[in-house]
Structure 1
Amino acid sequence: MPTRDINSEIIEGLYTEALVLAEDARAAFDLRLTEGAVQPDDLTRVALSIEGLRTTTRLMHVLAWLLNQRAYLAGELSELQLERSGPLPDEREADADNLARLEPTTRALIEESERLHARVARLDRDWRSNRTSATPVEALHGRIAQAFARY
C-alpha cells in the first residue's frame, strides 16, 4: 500500500468545510419567493439558477470524493475500490456574465466553492500520480509493452 499524504484530519476538515458550503449554497440559491424580499429580474433569476446548479454540483462532487476517502480511511473501501471510484470530476467554472448579476455574498460563496474544489482536485491528482500499485489491466499492459520492446 502506498504512503498517503492524505490523512483523516485533512479529510475531516475539508468535509466539514464542504458541508457548511453546501448548506450556505442551499440557502443562497433558494429561489422561493419570500415575503418582503426584493424580487430579482428574469435574467438574474436565470443566472441564479445556472450558477446554483453549477455550485451545488461542484460541492456534491467534492462531498462524494471526500466520503469515499473517509470510507477508505475507515477501512470500509479497499485501495482498489477507491481507485475505481474515479477521479474528482473536472470543475465547470462560473460564467462571468452570470456572476456580474449576482450579489457580492453569492459571488463570494461561488468563489469559495471553486477554491475548495481546486484544493480537493490537487489532493486527488497528487494521490493518483503517486500511487504505486497498478491495476491488473495496467500490469498486463506493462508486460505487453516490455515484451514488444525486445523486438
Structure 2
Amino acid sequence: MSHATTINPRIVEGLYCEALVLSDEVRGAFDLSGRIEQTGTDADAARIALSCEALRTTTRMMHAMAWLLNHRAYFMGELSEFQLRRYGRLAPDFPAGDAQRLALLPENLQNLVSHTENFYARLLRLDRSWREPAPGVHSALDQLRARLSQNVA
C-alpha cells in the first residue's frame, strides 16, 4: 500500500480482534429471543426500534469485518493492491442510528450502537488516509498526461 505508516498488518490484526469481540457483543445484545415478550404487547414502537437498530448495527459490523478481512487478505498476499482498492471500500455514508428509535432502547443497547458507530468511523478514517495519495506523488494517469503534454509542445 502507498501509506505504510497509516495501515499495516499489526493495526489490521488489532482492529480485527476488536471487531470480533464487538460483533459478538452485538449478536448477544440483539438476540431477539425473549426480548419481544419483555417489551410487552403494547410496545410496537419499541419492538420496531429494536429490530431496526439490530439490523443497522449488525450490518455496520458486517461491513467492518469485510473491510478488515480484505485487508488481512492483502497483507497475506491473497489480494493485490488493485483488488483491495477496487473492492475493499467501506460505505462512507452508512447511516447512523436513528435518535428517536435509539431513545426507545435500553441504555446498554444505546451505548453498544454508539460504540459500533465509533468503531466504524475509525475504520473510515483509516481507509480514507491510505486511499489519499501522498503529497507530491502523482497518479499514473497524471504522469501520462504530463508526458503527453510535453510531447505535444
Pair in the same fold by TM > 0.5 = yes
Farther off after superposition, 39-48 or 58-67: 39-48
Q: RMSD value over aligned CA atoms?
A: 2.6
Which residue type is aligned with residue 106 of structure 2?
E
Percentage of identical aligned residues: 47
Tell me the TM-score normalised to structure 2 length: 0.82
Q: Is the 8 A contact 2:39 2:46 kept in 1?
A: no
The whole-number CA distance in structure 2 between the counterparts of 1:116 and 1:3 is 21
Aligned residue pair count: 146
Q: Is the 8 A contact 2:2 2:130 kept in 1?
A: no
Aligned counterpart, 1:13:
14
Q: 1:133 to 1:16 in 2, by over 3 A?
A: farther
Residue 7 of structure 1 deviates from its aligned partner by 1.5
Stretches of structure 1 that go unaligned for 5 or more consecutive residues are: none
Residue in structure 1 matching 2:105, options 97, 102, 105: 102
The whole-number CA distance in structure 2 between the counterparts of 1:140 and 1:3 is 19
The whole-number CA distance in structure 2 between the counterparts of 1:124 and 1:84 is 12
Aligned counterpart, 2:57:
55
Q: Is the 8 A contact 1:25 1:56 kept in 2?
A: yes
The whole-number CA distance in structure 2 between the counterparts of 1:126 and 1:67 is 18
The whole-number CA distance in structure 1 between the counterparts of 2:110 and 2:145 is 51
The whole-number CA distance in structure 2 between the counterparts of 1:129 and 1:141 is 15
Which residue type is aligned with residue 8 of structure 1?
P
SS at match of 1:38: helix
Aligned counterpart, 2:39:
39
Q: Is the 8 A contact 1:8 1:73 kept in 2?
A: yes
The whole-number CA distance in structure 2 between the counterparts of 1:104 and 1:117 is 20
Farther off after superposition, 5-14 or 52-61: 5-14
The whole-number CA distance in structure 2 between the counterparts of 1:111 and 1:3 is 29
SS at match of 2:2: coil
Aligned counterpart, 1:120:
123
1:80 aligns with 2:79: no
Q: Is the 8 A contact 1:2 1:133 kept in 2?
A: no
SS at match of 1:122: helix
Runs of 4+ in 1 over 6 A off after TM superposition: 148-151
Tell me the TM-score normalised to structure 1 length: 0.83
SS at match of 2:84: helix
The whole-number CA distance in structure 1 between the counterparts of 2:88 and 2:9 is 20
